Amino acid sequence: MVHFPSDLHFDIVSRLPVKSLLRFKCVSQLWCNMIDDPSLAYMHLTRSVEEPKMLILDHQTKNPDTSRFTEVAGGFLKADMKLVTKQEVIALPPHRASYTSMSKYGLGFDSSTNTYKVVRVFSRGGSFNMGADVYTLGTSSWRPISKGPLCRLAGRPIFACGALHWFVHHYVDRDALKGKYIVSFDVGKEEFGWISPPKFYSSSHLLDLGGNLAMVDRSFDSHIEIWVMKEYKKKEWVKEYKIDIYPPLGISDSSLVEVIGLWEFGEILLRNRESFISYNLKTGVKRYIEILGHDVEVLYHMGSLLSISKFQTK
- Closest listed residue to residue 116, CA positions, set 95, 94, 96, 139: 139
> Residue 239 and residue 234: Cα distance in Å, rounded?
15
* pTM of the predicted model as reported, rounded to 2 decimal places: 0.74
Point out which residues pair with 212 in neighbouring strands: 209
Domain boundaries, the chain: 1-50, 59-86+202-300, 88-196
pLDDT in tens, 87-102: 456 667 777 655 555 6
Position 238 confidence tier, pLDDT thresholds 50, 70, 90: very high
| Helix/strand/coil for 216 | strand
> Residue 134 and residue 158: Cα distance in Å, rounded?
17
Q: What is the mean pLDDT of the chain?
A: 76
Burial of 259 (0-12, 13-18, 19+ CB in 10 A): buried
pLDDT in tens, 127-163: 667 889 999 988 888 899 988 888 888 888 899 999 9
- Residue 82 has a pLDDT of 45
User: Alpha carbon of 242 to those of 155, 177, 222, 239, 275: distances in Å?
Assistant: 25, 28, 10, 8, 20
In this predicted structure, which of 9-13, 25-29, 96-100 has the lowest mean pLDDT?
96-100
- Closest listed residue to residue 281, CA positions, set 294, 297, 262, 298: 262
> Residue 305 and residue 289: Cα distance in Å, rounded?
27
- Residue 69 has a pLDDT of 46
| Helix/strand/coil for 198 | coil
